[in-house]
A = this chain, B = another copy of it.
Amino acid sequence: MAVEIHAQAFDPWQAMQHYQQQHITPGKHGACASFIGSMRDFNEGDDVKTLSLEHYPGMTEKYLEKICDEARSRWDIMDCLIIHRVGEMHPNDPIVLTAVWSAHRGAAFDACRYLMEELKSRAPFWKKETLKQGERWVDHNTQE
């Protein structure tokens, strides 16, 4: 299980591949479900130029670990990985990766989605968008 906060751009596919090679026993898992959230260049009808992501160092990691632990206690999964960007990013940059490995697919799908939903509702991150007209804090998350 790993939780990582990255201040620089990351490659979610490479991160998953590396994590699997290093942490998942070959031949034991049958399923890996993952989700990658990326920065869109539009939100609420406006063009977005850059996105700045703030977090609460310490509490953010603590909640991401808590969410992973909850997923592991609710489903029969082997391992999970969460990576989240912070700092300034640009359209198309990956923001978040959640990945879950398990023997069977149902648990991987359920747990992966759980990680994302809980992350979005409980992990202390805040987005500020830069539009043509200036900056604005995102005050609520987009629809699921």
Q: Is A92 an interface residue (CB 8 A)?
A: yes
Query: CA of A11 to CA of B20 in the docked complex: distance in angstroms?
Result: 13
Q: Is A87 an interface residue (CB 8 A)?
A: no
Which chain B residue lies CB-closest to A48? B27
State the main secondary structure of chain A at its contact with B.
Answer: mixed
Shortest distance between the CB of A43 and any CB in chain B (Å): 9
Asked if residues A26 and B116 are in contact (CB atoms below 8 Å), the reply is: no
Shortest distance between the CB of A38 and any CB in chain B (Å): 6
CB contacts (< 8 Å) of A39 on chain B: these are 27, 30
Decide: A103 near B40, CB < 8 A? Known: A32-B35, A92-B27. Answer: yes
Q: Is A105 an interface residue (CB 8 A)?
A: yes
Query: CA of A32 to CA of B106 in the docked complex: distance in angstroms?
Result: 18
Asked if residues A36 and B32 are in contact (CB atoms below 8 Å), the reply is: yes
Q: Footprint of B on A, CB under 8 Å? A: 11, 13-14, 16-17, 26-42, 91-92, 103-106, 108-109, 112-113, 116, 142-144
